[in-house]
Each structure stands twice: as structure tokens, then as C-alpha cells.
Structure 1
Amino acid sequence: MNKYSICFISFFFLFFFMLINFFMMIYFILNNINLFIEWEIISFNSMNIVMSLLLDWMSLLFMMFVSLISSSVIYYSKSYMKSELNLNRFILLVLLFVFSMILLIISPNMISIFLGWDGLGLVSYCLIIFYQNIKSYNAGMLTALSNRIGDVMILMLISWMMNYGSWNYIYYLNFMSNDYSMKIVGLLIILAAMTKSAQIPFSSWLPAAMAAPTPVSALVHSSTLVTAGVYLLIRFNFLLINLFFFKFLLLLSGLTMFMAGISANYEYDLKKIIALSTLSQLGLMMSILSMGFGDLAFFHLLTHAMFKALLFMCAGMIIHMMMDNQDIRTMGGISFYIPLTSLCMNISNLALCGIPFLAGFYSKDMILEVVSMSNLNLMIFYLYYVSTGLTMFYTIRLLMYLMINDFNLLSIYNLYEEDYVMLKSMFMLLFMSLISGSFLSWMIFSYPYMIYLPFNMKIMVIYVSLIGMILGYFISNMKIYSINKFLLTYNLSMFLMMMWFMPSLSTYGINYNFLNFSNKLMKNIDMGWSEVFEGQGIYNIMKYYSIIYYIYHMNNLKIYLFSFVLWMMIFIFMILL
């Protein structure tokens, strides 16, 4: 079989699957249908292990977006990974990844959710270490260990739900939302979602996961791995709305949004800037979700998936053209050489900023207006609007470095024409980045949101966007800025640049110390005292007695004569006494 044939088969299968989901979703919305399918696998002690599927408009719509993006990514990989010898292995890993996400989306059952959840973690590790160098191995291990915390929370949740007689959470959401024991379920779900969606303090793995090939980054950071936590919280939203910790999540996700926006302005790695932008948008989704607006979070999740996948694909094309160099300081003027890619990149960046009538505008503007209308304290309000301004800030900075500044390469590069296989897959997402905002706002909301605000509050989004744009433009042009950054405010810059020291804390502070501690436990207890008193101790006693038993079993005449003489002497001695 040709190594490209699996690419075509996968692309056509996923595209066809996307069309099926689209028509089913339209039918389900129009007729208000929810389909619940259950298959009992085994029953023990009044507990039923069942495989259940929930098909409603939300799961079908999300599956449609996942299959559309993954089909584009696989078609894009045909060209991007053409020099890869193990292309088939790569495509199969991507398919396994998509299958895990689909299993997570359609499961109303904690057992099958855990299979999809753990499948995402395991396959993402395999994809991150795909290039097999030290950096990839370290990034993969950091990702796997951070996500294990969420996996453990789900496992604890599964064991806790044995109290209720079923793992189908859909039965408990409404009528048990005030029950004390369900608050534990809510807390475990929130902690699991925070690890998967990389909220503070688990944020450091998300930029590290950029060690994966760019098509994987486009898939992971748009619609699959990082959105799994958000999707799970959307499904559990009824249960969580009364929890105090849900309000605490509002603060943490707001800080995540702010931290990612600042760090992106200090970053020079092209892929990491886009990864930090994903982190910022995840903070936005989580924060609006923790205010109780699950439908808005889902809306932004889907619109964000489109332009973020496109943004990563454009970045992959630029990295290819720059001979695998990712430093934006050595780029510039690329719009003259790859105009179509630059067009796609500019449109996806503007959609990210929430420029009116692109995909991001419909969801982002609605979220910020709902925030303005809500009864929130000033700190959260500022976190929302400053983070929106920072999005514009780092986007304009990126465009200045890539497109507008002079040609700034270190040596002669092969500036070739664009690859049309990549462009076809990018144009499919470009079309969706233009229309998906309005299309989804008609589809998801059965009635229009009418939000009345004072004039200044209504155009506050435009104010902060303009301020962010002007600052991004001026600071990108200031040559003194870099000197000032590294000399006058070195400590502050280092703090902001290093994501508030979270990578150091999570690798050395948490993972390294925990692993070191568990290594000592294993040596001293598993391989030490427990061996002496349990395994090896019992083995030595049994060995000693079996040797004695073996001697008696030899039927040696000398032993029996000696025993006979000894017993006779004892007997005679006792008679004489």
C-alpha cells in the first residue's frame, strides 16, 4: 500500500462522517430529538457496567467540527509530513486521537468518558514525542504527568459514583444538584477539567506540547485535547452552578487568561505564541462557563476551533518556508513570498481578536457583553477587558514581526511557492472562519440575545481592542523596547516571560519532587522492608523447611537407622528411670 493512500482514505472517511453529523444535527435540532442508546455489558453487586451513547444536537455539532478539522489536518499532513518515513503510523495515531475525542463527546457514562479521556492523554503523549529528541521526551512527560492528575480525579469520581448504583451522570444532574455527596462529584470534575484545559496552576504543559508536529498542534489546540475539560464542564454545568469552588474557578481562569496574554507578548517562538493564545481563549471559555453560561462557552469553543486550527496550519507553512526556524525575530516581509498563506493568517488572527463579522466576533463580543451585564466585582471585570486588549496586542506584534517589518533572515533561504495541498485544506477552514460565527449563532440559540447597555459599555470591546492595537504597533517598532526590557526591568520581564514561573514549579517543584519521593518509597518499602517481611521473608522460611522436608523424603537408610537408634535409646532411658 502506498504511504499516501491511508491519508486519502482517512480524509474521505472523516469528511463523510462530518457530513453525516451535520445532517443528523439539523434533523435533531428541528425535531427536538435526543437519542440515548444503552448496552449493558456486565452486572455485579447491583452495579451495571453499561456502554451508553448520548446523541443530541450538542454532541453531533461538536463531532461535526472535530471531524471537519481532523480531515483538514490529515489532508494537510500529506504534504507537511511527506518526508516522514513513518507517515502511516502518524496518521493512525491521529485517527486514534480523534476516535478518543469522539468517544468522550458522545458518552454520558463515566466509564466510557474515562476511556476517551485517558485515550486522549496516552495518544497525545505518543504524538508529542513523535520527533524523538530530548526536548520532545521532556515535553511529553510533563504533559502526561500533568494530565495524570485529572485521570486520577476521574478514577476517584468513578469509585465515588458506585454509591449511586450507576455511572450515568445524566440521571443525577437535575434532582441531586443540592445533595452534599454530589458536591464531591462536582469538585472532582472541576479539578479534572482544570488539568485537561491547562488552567492555573497546570498551565505549563500546554506551551511545552508544541514539541509535537504542527498538524498535531492544529488538532490538539483547536478542538480535541484542551477542549475536553471545557466540554465536560458544559455537560455537568447544572450540577456545578451552586458550588463555591465554581466561583473560585472564575478567578483562576481569569488569571490564566491574563497570564497567557502577557506571556505571549514576551515570547519569540511562533508556535508558542499561538499556544499561549489558545491558553488565553481557554481561560475565557472557563470563566464564562463558571458564571453559568454553558451555551456561550460552547459557542466560543466551536468558533475558536476553526480559526485556531487555521492559524496553526499557517504557522506550519511559514516554519516550512523558513527551513524549520520558529523564531519570529528572523522573519519579516513574508507576505511578498507566500501571499495566500499570509491572507489566511491575517484573517484567522483578526477572527481571534474579535474583529466584527468574523467568527470570533460573534462569540467573544457576546461573552464580554454578558460579563458587562452581570453582577461581577471590578477585578474580574478588568481581567476580562485587559485580557481582550492583550489579545489584540500580541496579534498585532506577531503581524508586525511576520508581515510588515523588513526582511530579516539570518542567511539565504529557499523562499518557494506555496504548497497547494496545504492551501486546499487551509481554505476549507478559512471559509468556516468567515461564516461559522453567524451560522452557529443562528443554530445554537433558539432566540436572539438582546443585551441593552450604556453606549460606553457597549463599545468597551472596541476601546480595549484599539488601545491594544496601538500599543502593539508602537512597541513592535520601538528598538529601545528590547534594551529596556532586558536591562531595566529584567526580573519583572523574566517573571512575565516564564509564565509566572509555572514551568519551573511544575517540573522541579511538583513532578520532580513527587517522582523522587516515589522512587525512595519504592526502594525503601517495595524493594526494602516489605520484601524482608513479606515476599522474600516467606520465601526464605519456606525454602528452609522444604530443605528439611526434602531430606526426609530421600528415603535414606542411614537417616532412618539413626532415628530408630535414637528413639530406642530414649525409650530405654525412660524405662530405666
Structure 2
Amino acid sequence: MLKSLSICLISFLVLFIMAMSLVVTGFYFIMNSLVYFIEWELVSLNSGSIVMTLLFDWMSLIFMGFVLFISSLVIYYSEEYMAGDYNINRFILLVLMFVLSMMFLIISPNLISILLGWDGLGLVSYLLVIYYQNVKSYNAGMLTALSNRIGDVALLLAIAWMLNFGSWNYIYYLEVAKFSLEMGIIGALVVLAAMTKSAQIPFSSWLPAAMAAPTPVSALVHSSTLVTAGVYLLIRFNVLLTEVWLGSFLLLFAGLTMFMAGLGANFEFDLKKIIALSTLSQLGLMMSILAMGFPVLAFFHLLTHALFKALLFMCAGAIIHNMSDSQDIRFMGGLVVHMPLTSSCLNLSNLALCGMPFLAGFYSKDLILEIVSLNYLNFFSFLLYFVSTGLTVCYSLRLVFYSMSGEFNSSSLHPLNDEGWIMSRGMLGLAFMAVLGGSMLSWVLFPSPVMICLSFSLKTLALTVSVIGAWVGYELAQFSLSFNLQSLRHQMVVFFLGSMWFLPFISTYGVSKLPLESGWGILKTLDGGWSEFYGSQGLYGIFSQTSGFNQIWQNNELKTYLMGFMVWVIILVLLLFV
């Protein structure tokens, strides 16, 4: 225990100090408009050399600082959450490998080194999803790994196409070659890779499935590492999105993802899956504003979202820990009485998610919605933005109502308490940032004040849809019995909306049943059937018969030779005299 304690504490302290220094350095870089390229020559042979390039600008430094800050608190939190695990050292090392892969991806201006970090994230995420060894975890891990492999292949193809430019340092060629066919193909492949990693439609089903991982891993994955890698990559490639059709394509799919996840979360009863779907919704928001041509705004929301989403998962982990590993929100209730500190942090992070004024989420979400109102945008996309905002408030209030109000719905002899001081301290560190992080970042990222002039109706539209969403969520949660009866009456509609528009079935049964079963049929009828009959096995039969017949002639039997000789004599006589 002492050994694991020391590993957790040492990791926490090292990562926390690195995080603070990186954030301060990032602020210095942005104030002085600095960008550093560091080139390290690995191998030099004759006139050729292999060079490792690292990019340090304000974006990479601040993002690395936030990743390290969140991962330090998650590791500190894991000390108590994973206290019963005999292999906690292995768990901490896996988390550190995960963070290292993300660091590698962030500072790479080169597609080859990006692929190393990208694949590192994919491999370690598989190991963490199957950490609890059961069939559900194995299936979830396989779905996660195979979904992400599509993006890995797209990135490999993009690397192959980059050979047209003579180097893999994409950052030098984006502005110059953005209208060329080659760069258009590379952009399309990068968008595909980012859509798989950030779980956009039609690759959304792996994200809720990845909830099979331990909760500290979920807090890290859904806030600042795995799922944000795709958004970060597209922020770097943002020049390609606004000039060609890629931006419109991404805007549509990201908007649909945002809407689909917000709708699905209102029908979900698993605590972690509700929060996972909220992550999916926020990723859609980041992707869509990025597709409209606002990379700094997408990056701003990426950072603020990381703070309150990590806190939300940590609170969920504390509740699950105290509920004897139950995740169903219908068994909760009255938690505010038994766990006041955790409940306060949960409500704080939920309010930040909804965009409550002066919390972290407000500064980015409100600015995004005002920019959307200000820009030329088709009505369908405009509707997706604001309806999804209302749905966010709707499922958040539903979650709070189910978990906080009324009486506790599980065992009367329960272990609910707030006495896990290590977990509480980890949560309070993030709660502090969930309140102050948004305003602090907005001062640094947007130093020049900007005036957004909108009509009164557009200015208050975000507030109006939030209030309507809150009211609908409260009504749905309060009249749960009548709502459930209505759900039974319209079972197929509810099933469609609650199952993410059948995406999990398409990703699992759709892939396994139709192609694999048809493949099995082809294997039986062609490879193992007619091809065998007319191919190898047929030839084997013919050769067996003829060689057996030939063997008879080879035997030293006088009767056989005489009979054969007589047959040949008769044939020759007939040929000569007929």
C-alpha cells in the first residue's frame, strides 16, 4: 500500500508542477507571439537525415498544461478510488503512458510523429477499457479499437499522400497548397481520422461503450485526452476546412452528432453513459464551430469543457463508489443530504455544462452561440445548435432531479458518506478551476474586447432555450411514471432515440452479421465448396483414379499384360484394315 501511495503522490506532484510551468509558459508565449520549432537530428547518413521536429506555441503549451493538470488530479483521485486494486502500479503506469502519447501528439507538427502519438492513444485506451476483465469490457474494448483503426488507416493514407510535397511537416504546406488536389485529399483523410477519434456520426457508438473503463480513466479520456485528439488535429488543419466542401460536410455531421447525443441522454438511466453522451454533444459543438472557421473558439471550449467534464466524472465516480458500484440513477435520490460536498461539485459542474453565467462553460458556450447568431448559417444548422443547447439543460436537470431530490431509493442500510478525503480534494481542485478557468482563459485568449451586436430576440435566444430545456427536463423527471407509460406506448420511437439512432447495432450487429455471415457463406459455398470440387479436391480425385489405374498396369501380372497386349493388337488391326 505504501508503495502504491508513493507512486500516486509522486506522479501527482511531478505532473502538477509540470502543468503549472507549462500553462505559465503558454501565457508568456501568447503575450509575446512566440513560436518555437525544435529540430533534433536522429540519424544522418550520407546526404540524408531523419529529423524529429517539435512545435511549441501557445496552443500546444496551454493544452499540454491542462492535460497534465487534469491527469495529476485524476491520478491523485485514483489513489483512493482504486485502493482495492492490487495492480494499482500497473494502472498508474498505463495512465502515464496515455498522457505521454497525448503529449507526443500535441507537440508534433509532423504526420509521422502524430501517428505515433495517435496509435499510442489507441493502444493504451484499449488496455484501459478492458482493465476490468469481463465479457462486456472485452466487447467494448474491441469496438473502441476497431472503430479507431479506421481513423488510423486514414492517417496512414494521408502520410502516403504527403509524399507529393516532399516532407511530412504538414504545417509548412497548409497555406500554400490549400487549393491543390493533393491537399484536398489529405484534408478529407484527416477529417475522417478526426471523426473516428472524436466519435462523430457514424462512429459514435464506441464512446458510451468505452464507459467500461474505470471512472478515473473516463474522467481523463472524456475531458482532455483521447476524444479531444481529433478536435485538436482539426484545429491544426483548420485552413483546409473553410476553403473547400469539407467544412460544410463536417458542420452537418457535427451538428447531427450534437443533436443525437443530447436527445439520447434524455432517455438514458446509466449515470456514466449520460455524462458520456454529454461529452459527445460537446464534441459536436466544438467540431461544428471549427467547421465554421473559428479554431480559437473551438480550442477555448475544448479547454473549459475539459475542466468541468473531468469534475463531472470524478463526482460520478464518488457516487458510484458509495452506491456499492450501482450506476442506475433510478436507485439514487436524496444524495444532497448524505453527500453534500460531492453533490455540490456535481451541481457546479452541471451548471458549468449548461452555461450558467460566470462559470467556465458560460464564457465559451455563450460566445459560440452568439457567433453562430452573427454568422451566415442555414436554418437547419442554426436549429441544431440551439435545440441541442436546450437538450443539454434538459438532461442535466433530469440527472440532478433523479439523483438529488426525494428519498434515497436503494438499500436503507447504505454506506453513503463524504469521508473519502483524497477523492474530495481531487474534486475540489477541479471545482476551483471550473469556476475561475473560463474567465481566466477568456482574458488571455481574447485580450482585445469585441462587441457583438445582435437583436434582442437573438441575444436572449440562448437563455430562452436553456430555460425551456430546464422546464422540460424537470417535467419529464417529475412525471416519470406517466412518461414511462408514454414511452411504452411509443416504444419503437423511444428505442430509436434512446439507442443513438441504432448506431451501436449498426456498428456491432451490422458489421458482424451481414458482412461476416455472408463471408462465411461464400467461404462454405465457394472456397470450401465448388472451388474444392472443381479445384484441388477434384484434381486429387482424378489423379488418384488414374494413378490407381496406372498402378494396375505396373504390376507384374502376365494376365494383365497379355490382355492389354491383345487389346492393343486388335486396335492396330482395326486401324490398318478398316
TM-score, with structure 1 as normaliser:
0.89
CA distance, structure 2, for counterparts of residue 439 and residue 497 of structure 1:
37
**Equivalent residue number for residue 280 of structure 2:** 279
Aligned to 1:31: 32
Most deviating of 177-186 and 406-415: 406-415
Displacement after TM superposition at 1:239 (Å):
2.3
Query: Structure 1, residues 187-217: CA drift from partner, whole Å, max 9, x if none?
Result: 0000000000000000000000000000000
Is 1:340 aligned to residue 333 of structure 2? no
Task: Please say if 1:104 is aligned against 2:102.
Answer: no
CA distance in 2, matches of 1:400, 1:6: 39
Q: Give the letter for the 1:91 counterpart.
A: I
**Contact 2:23–2:66 (Cα < 8 Å) also in 1:** no
1:43 Cα offset (Å): 6.9
Change over 3 Å in CA distance of 1:200–1:48 after alignment to 2:
farther
Q: Give the aligned partner of residue 225 of structure 1.
A: 226
> Could you tell me how far apart the structure 2 residues matched to 1:351 and 1:3 are?
34
Q: What are the superposed Cα offsets for residues 302-341 of structure 1, whole Å, 9 maximum, x if unpaired?
A: 0000000000000000001100000000110000111001
- Name the SS for the 2:272 alignment partner: helix
CA distance in 2, matches of 1:225, 1:511: 25
SS at match of 2:37: strand
Take 1:520 and 1:73, find their aligned partners in 2: how far apart are those partners?
Answer: 49
Displacement after TM superposition at 1:406 (Å): 2.3
Superposition deviation, residue 40 in structure 1: 3.3
Q: Which residue of 2 aligns with 1:159?
A: 160
1:329 is aligned to 330
Structure 2 counterpart of 1:499, one-letter code: M
Mapped partners of 1:521, 1:63: distance in 2: 50
The number of residues matched between the two structures is 533
3-state DSSP of counterpart to 1:446: coil
Structure 1 residues 291 and 521, CA gap change in structure 2 (3 angstroms):
farther
Which residue of 1 is the match for residue 22 of structure 2? 21
Deviation, 1:26, is 2.3
Conservation of the 8 A alpha-carbon contact between 1:40 and 1:49: yes
Is the 1:47–1:166 Cα contact (8 Å) retained in structure 2?
Answer: no
Instruction: Give the conservation status (yes or no) of the 8 Å contact 2:240–2:246.
Output: no
State the alpha-carbon separation in 1 of the partners of residues 516 and 21 from structure 2. 46
Equivalent residue, structure 2, for 1:40: 41
Question: Is the contact between residue 145 and residue 511 of structure 1 (CA under 8 Å) also seen in structure 2?
Answer: no
Q: Would you say the 8 A contact 1:48–1:166 is kept in 2? A: no
Q: 1:380 to 1:48 in 2, by over 3 A?
A: farther
The one-letter code matched in structure 2 to 1:269 is D
Residue of structure 2 equivalent to 1:417: 418
1:101-500 equivalence runs, <5 A: 101-410=102-411, 412-500=413-501
Matched letter for residue 14 of structure 2: F
Alignment-mate amino acid for residue 67 of structure 2: V
* Alignment partner of 1:82 is 2:83: yes
Q: CA deviation digits over 1:48-82, x for unaligned, max 9?
A: 64311000000000001000000000000000000
CA contact (8 A) 1:154 1:192 kept: yes
The amino acid of 1:7's aligned partner reads C
Q: CA deviation at 1:516?
A: 6.1
Shift of residue 446, structure 1, vs aligned partner: 3.4
Shift of 1:246: 2.0
1:87 partner letter: I
1:44 Cα deviation (Å)?
A: 8.5
Cα distance in 1 for partners of 2:439, 2:50 equals 41
Change (3 A) 1:340 1:247: same
Letter in 1 for 2:255: G
Please report how far the alpha carbon of residue 42 of structure 1 lies from its aligned counterpart in structure 2 after TM superposition.
4.5
Provide the secondary structure at the position in 2 that maps to 1:54.
strand
In structure 1, C-alpha distance between the alignment counterparts of 2:302 and 2:252, rounded to whole Å: 19
Distance 1:55 1:520, change over 3 A: farther
Identity of aligned residues (%): 61
Q: Residues 525, 255 of structure 1: CA spacing in aligned structure 2 closer, same or farther, 3 A cutoff?
A: same
Matched position secondary structure for 1:266: coil
Maintained 8 Å contact 2:360/2:437: yes
On the 8 A contact 1:177/1:240 being kept in 2, the answer is no
Deviation digits for residues 427-450 of structure 1, max 9, x if unmatched?
110010001111111111232232
In structure 1, C-alpha distance between the alignment counterparts of 2:201 and 2:511, rounded to whole Å: 14
Q: Is the 8 A contact 1:47 1:162 kept in 2?
A: no
Instruction: Tell me, yes or no, if the aligned pair for 1:46 and 1:165 is still in contact at 8 Å.
Output: no
- Partner amino acid, structure 2, of 1:299: F
Equivalent residue letter for 2:157: M
User: Which amino acid counterpart does residue 464 of structure 2 have in structure 1?
Assistant: Y
CA contact (8 A) 1:485 1:493 kept: no
